Every structure is written in structure tokens, then in C-alpha cells.
Structure 1
């Protein structure tokens, strides 16, 4: 239902009454600016093909009405090609739901807590594949409701039954061992994710988040599960009624983000973006960059969290969603999704696509700037999140230069932004810095690296 002009959206994402220190959502639904149900529906042809160009600018200017947020996100994240018809999307949706059902059943066969409405927070297996049978594990993994009331503290832990025996047998398959090793960490992260929201007071919602992340950890053979993914997945649980739809929307977001989570013995994937951030600051604010280097912060690790979970800690829940959709609208590129291969090599390229050339109007404003500058043809565009962090640092540059005498001071100054940032202004600042960066970079290249 459309709400009055200027109505904040906190009512859609209720905060538990005892959590009084949670930042209030600044995002307000504004008639004429926010993408409404009516404007969204008007952007489709009778066959269901979407004129994406009609929506991107409006999303950037005023965000998306919460009533249609889930549906719009599916397009912004590339779940569906705008050129697909309603019938094609229905077929794709049903096929994906079937795929998710198969994946979830695979996981359930390996560990029956998956899909049981419960989740675990204690390790169930050793790195050698041996089952762990302490009372907490027995309590959490038991799915027999008749036995679930037995307390391990009263000495009756031995009464707990195994899960059809599959959790009490030594596991030999290395991939299964690795997957099972992540399950309790997922559970620990789940109970810490968005715990201020009324939505997660329900066990079924916590369990759904755990199920999706557990299935994704099995699905993505290369990355698996890493801390921070629960922050990215949580909004999907709230937006989508169907668990499979939430999973695939999260999977599409991970396509954009998964490089951040790629770990080796020497580095974490997000360090690539941190290096890009350092390069941007060095160009647009060399004094600040030099100051940070002097303080030992030239690696920009203090910005790790902002990039890893897309500002989920710096904004209220509602504002973080608003920020995300503005970012995705700005950097929307209809071509990226058609060339990506799924992590497990299951090709799903260009589903529902007509294969037509994309006009510039179908690209987000951020992407159009790259195309216009000519930089996009030479290098993959930096994600707009890098410029969002850069705009935060640039705005606080005077304070950082005058007050930061060590990295602790840098962290403290940046922590003060929590709840005080405006998502819309942050995006505007990022766009301005992006344009400035492209111009300065071009000038430096012409002058042989000399400003």
C-alpha cells in the first residue's frame, strides 16, 4: 500500500522495543521520487518486458517502495533479463525453485538438521572427519521431538539419538568435511545478524537464514561460506516469501561480491578493493593518503568492514537497503550477467535474454560515466562502493588530518559516522568523486604521472 509522502520506512522493518540505541531510518517514501508500484508496473510492456531505463533514474533519485522491493531487486541483480517476458520469467523461476529443492535435499541427506526448522552453533565434525558428540552437539542435532526435551545438563545426554546415523560416522569426503566444518560458524553468525529486528525473534526465520547460507556453502565450491555473508543474505530472507527466490537473489548478489570473500594463504579478496581505494585517495586527496601512510594505514584495512558487507554497520537496516538499491541502479550493466558462469559450472547464461544490443539508457549512470570516459574499455570499472568509502574519507579529511595521531584515532573518527550518514548524499558524493577521479587519472596519464 502506498504511504503518505515523506513517511519513513521503519514500520516495514520493526526494531525490538528494548533496542533503543539503533539508528533511525532516514529513508522516506516520497511521491514523485520513490519508485512506486504504479510506476513500476507502467514500465512493463503487455508481454512483460521491462523498460529498465525508465526505472534506474527514479531508483537513484528516490529508492524503491518496500512493497515492490523484492521484485525490483531481482532485476537490479540480474536474476532476470529486462527483455524477458512474464512467461519466460515464470519458467525460469520454477526451474530455479526446483534446482534449489535439489540442492537443499543434497544438504539434508548429508546433515538432516538442514530443513528441519533448527540450526546448530556447535562444531559437529573435526578436520579429520570424526564426529563430535558432546552434549551441545547432541542437543542441537537431534530432530526427534520426543527426545528434544531431555537436557544434557541432567546427565541424560546419552539418550539423544543420531540423525539416522549419518552424523556419527567418520566422514571421508574432503568436500563434505569442509562443508560440515562451516555449519556451526554459520549458526553463530545467524544469531548475531540483525538481532535488533523483530523479524528475527522467530526461530523459523533464523532457521531459514541458516538453511540458505548452508546450501550456498555447498553450492559455491570455490568460496563456500565466509563471515559477512549473513549480513548480505539477511535482507533477502525478509523480502522474499519463497526461500528459493531468496536464495537465488542472494546468489546473484554474491556474483557481484564473491571476489571479496576469496581467501588464499596470503590475502583476502577484499584487499583488491582496498588497494583500489588507496589508489583513488592518492589521486583525489594525496595529503590524506600520505597522512594515512605515515600512520601505518596505507593498506586501508580500517575500511575493510564497509566494503565487505556494503555498509550494513554504518546505516540503519532500512537505509542500508536504500543505499544498496541506489548503488545497483547506478552501476547497472545488462551485459555483465550474460557472461558469468555459476561457481559450480552450471551454465545459466543469459536466461530469458533476447540477445539484442543494449542501448546506453539501459546502463546505470555510473556505468555510463565509465563508457563516456573510455576507461571502461581498458579496465573493468571499480565498484561504486570504493567511491562511497572514498567520499566518506574525503568528507572527514580535515578531521583525520588534524586529529588522527594513530590508527586508533582513524578508527574512532570513522566509527562516529554510524547512524549519521545519509545514503542519498553518500551516493551523490561517490558520483562526484568518481567523475573527479576519472578526469584526474586521464590528466595524470597525459602528463606522464605528474599532476
Structure 2
């Protein structure tokens, strides 16, 4: 604080000498800190010297917080580009400096849409930040095989108990030969172990740091090779026992229930993604119907081909995830989280593992006991209480201090309140924070200085609190019930400035994270 007082004193002296001692002093404040300011700062501010502007900036920056938000100067900055992305890698395909500069860039400005399919697997822990190109090739092949086995298991469960299906081919198997590539996309030198133990370990612990790698400038594998179970030409040759995918009690009954819900959700999914990835909207009706048939999708005749296709992809990956994480299975809202990933990543096995990475944290939103949701609502409440006691007292009067009115924002990670592109921006910045924490980046003094603020696992919650705080005046003066606040939160859709929201959220992180986390 003595630094800011010293700078303010210098400004007063400077203005006094520059204006010949004329003019008066006015009482004002910056961020709630009162003090005397010379009226010349206002009258002659336009013609003031650059040094004065810099000094004033230092005062305001110091007053706002000791660490600046990486988003406070977002205007004029550009997202991570293809050229920058390629330059982050060494000759053997490793990220330089363990990915620190890469994560800093993403936290600051996001990612250019054209390279998101390559960048997101790193952010979501599919590929380790320290991995080489060769290591990622091996991991990619292993994860592809695990996904294929999950899809075969899904097919087995779909047809379980159907006496007419035993020994018959998949309704889609006859079309595989001319769609699937003739040669394996796995490099010749890659050897993939296929023992049951390794499959079980990878399926249950797919997010371990030892198994997270990716190819920086990899050529996309043909989407036809992994789409909706097409990868396996022998889809009908399902073993009677699949030891690599453990089957807990009542799995079949649960799976049937999950299937029914996810198929309804998939049919009802909107098509916001179409403008983001028009190429996915060009699928023919024949192919879309084939994909839908493969996953047993029904009642889709009223949909356009691209929406049928998207719905079928949703079902295929959500079914696989339900087997991968049977404790969570499927709950409404999960399709909202998967849909943007499908729009960005066209290969189903890669999209699946990115979704697994996303759900590593988001899965707690879907626990039946709601422990994860209650914890997050409690954090939002603490942030508001610490930042704005007047607003918090008003919420207490309305018996809304539990912040239940932001329940939807927490569950579907702001998906309903943001536009499609805004959602992608928020998520990848949020993932960059989480990736930095996984890699233990940002906890040292160097990290705090260079990244300008400590990364947090709960950036989403600070963003939600910031969105509420932006509306504090309206909430205090006009709303007299939690239902009023809930309607206000639901009306935020399309009204938020994502980078301003992130700036405010990070300001809260800087000032409150030691108290909250």
C-alpha cells in the first residue's frame, strides 16, 4: 500500500508543478480507497504526458490486486495460432518447457478454432504435456482399441436377450467394408498389447499422467474408421465374456435405462454447432441413417441428416462412457457437455477420450447424492459473501444464500448461458488452468509471476460468482425472492461478455483464492 501512496504523492506533485499550482483538489476514491486528487487530472488528462498515464495505471493496478489478470488486456491479443502451436514443439514432438508457455497462451487468449482438435487433447489430459510424438502414437493406438472394445460391449448389451440377434450380423456391418479404410491407421512400428489386465487398467485409470500424450501435427485419422463402431469389421463376433470391461451387478438394467434417456436427449439436441463446423452438416441422409441404425436410434425421421448424424454420435460415445464410468453412467445434461466436443473433434475415439478428460471433474455434477453440486454451490456462496457482504445479506433475507439459483450453471458448466463459441472459449481457458494444476505449474513463485495469477481448479465457480456480482444492484434493489433471481440467471443467455466475465472471475481468484480454496 505504501507504494501506491508514494505514487499518488508523486502524481499530486507533478500535477501541481505542471499546472502552475492552479486548480483545486477533489475528494475521490479508487476501488473504495479514498484520497485527494487534483482536478487537473480530469481537466488536463487528455494532454498529460505518457509518464503520468503510466503512473496512474500503476496506482490502479496496485489497488486492484498484486497480481494482474491474464485477461485484463485481452483486447488486441490473438488466440493461439497454427504457427505458434507448431513452434511450441521440439524436433521429437515434445512441448518446450513442459508446456508452460503453451498453457499461458491459452489462459491469456484461447485457441484458434482450426487447431482445437489438436490442442484440446492436451488440455483435457488425453496426452501428457511432456510426451513425445512416438509416445503419443502408442497411446493413441491403445486408446483406440479400448474405445472399440467399449463399443462392442455396447452392441452386446443392446442385443442381450434378443434371441433373434444371436449369431446375426449388425445391421450396419454389411456397409463397413466400403466405408472403413483398408489399412490400419496405426503406425507399423507401434505394438499394442491386448491382454485383459492392460485393458482393464487403461479403462479404469485412463486419466493417469502416465497415459496422457498426443501428436502436435498429427494427420487426422479418417473419421469413418472410428465412427459409431465402424472401426471393427467383425462387430458381430462378440465374445461371450469380455473380461477387459468389468460388469458390476445390474449393469444391464442400468444400461437400458441410460440408453433410453440418452437417446431422447440426443434427438432433442440443438444444432448450434452447425455454424461452427459446417462440414459436419454435409453428411448425406443415407450415411446418417446408417449411423443411427448402428446405435439403435429411433424416431428421428423429422430431423435433418446432420442432426441425425450428430445424435447418433452422441449416443455412441455416451453409451461407451456409461460403461467406462458405471458409477455415474448417464444423466441428463451430459449430452450438453459432449456436443461441443463432437463439433470440434471428428474422430469418435478421440472425442470419447476428451469427454472422459472433461468428465474427470464434471462427473461430480452428476452424482446421485449431489455432494459435488453442493460443494460447488457452497464455494460460489463463499465467494459472494467474501466479496460483497451487502449482496450476501440480501440473499440471506431471501433464503437464497445457498446460491441454488446458479444450479444449472454449475451442472452444465455455463453451457446454457453462453453462445456456442463463448462456451468453447470459457472451457478451454478453464481446462488450461486444470492442466496447469495437473502438471504442477503455477504453484511456484516463478509461476505466480509469469502466469500473473495462480491457476485454479474452480475457475468456473469464480466465473459464476462474477456473473451474479455483475448484477448485484438489480438483485438488491428489485428482486424479492429466489425465483426472481433464478429468472434473472436464466435470462443471462446470450447477454454475457465472456472475456469481461473471465477478467472479473480472475480478479476474484487473485483476491480470494487463499480464503476460498
For the superposition of Structure 1 and Structure 2, which TM-score range results when normalised by the shorter chain?
Answer: 0.5 to 0.7
Which residue of the other structure, out of 128, 135, 140, is the alignment partner of 1:88? 135
Residue 362 (structure 1) shift: 10
Residue 334 (structure 1) shift: 5.2
Partner of 2:157: 110
Partner of 1:375: none
Pair 1:308–1:207, CA change in 2 (3 A): same
Greater helix share, structure number: 2
Pair 1:48 & 2:93 matched? yes
Partner of 1:242: 347
Partner of 2:111: 64
Deviation per CA, 1:269-316, whole angstroms, max 9, x where unpaired? 312100111112111112211211211212211101111111111111
Partner of 2:464: 389
Tell me the distance in 1 between the aligned counterparts of 2:430 and 2:121: 14
Tell me the distance in 1 between the aligned counterparts of 2:486 and 2:442: 43
Which residue of the other structure, out of 296, 320, 326, is the alignment partner of 1:215? 320
Deviation per CA, 1:71-119, whole angstroms, max 9, x where unpaired? 111111111111111010011001000000011101101115xxxxxxx
Which residue of the other structure, out of 453, 477, 480, is the alignment partner of 1:402? 477
- TM-score (ref. length: structure 1): 0.67
Residue 436 (structure 1) shift: 2.0
Which residue of the other structure, out of 396, 407, 420, is the alignment partner of 1:293? 396
Pair 1:367–1:280, CA change in 2 (3 A): farther
The total of aligned residue pairs comes to 336
Matches within 5 A, 1:162-181: 174-181=250-257
Structure 1 spans left out of the alignment, 5+ residues: 1-28, 113-128, 132-141, 146-163, 167-171, 338-356, 372-380, 443-451
| Greater Cα radius of gyration, structure 1 or 2 | 2
Residue 204 (structure 1) shift: 2.2
Pair 1:365–1:394, CA change in 2 (3 A): farther
Tell me the distance in 1 between the aligned counterparts of 2:255 and 2:389: 45
Task: Name the SS of the counterpart of 2:399 in structure 1.
Answer: coil
Partner of 1:426: 501
Question: Aligned-residue CA RMSD in angstroms?
Answer: 3.3
Residue 196 (structure 1) shift: 4.2
Partner of 2:264: 188
Tell me the distance in 1 between the aligned counterparts of 2:505 and 2:422: 16
- TM-score (ref. length: structure 2): 0.59
Pair 1:177–1:358, CA change in 2 (3 A): same
Pair 1:280 & 2:280 matched? no
Contact 1:333 / 1:363 at 8 angstroms: preserved in 2? no
Tell me the distance in 1 between the aligned counterparts of 2:366 and 2:439: 19
Pair 1:439–1:98, CA change in 2 (3 A): closer
Structure 2 spans left out of the alignment, 5+ residues: 1-73, 163-169, 174-235, 239-247, 275-279, 282-303
Tell me the distance in 1 between the aligned counterparts of 2:513 and 2:397: 26
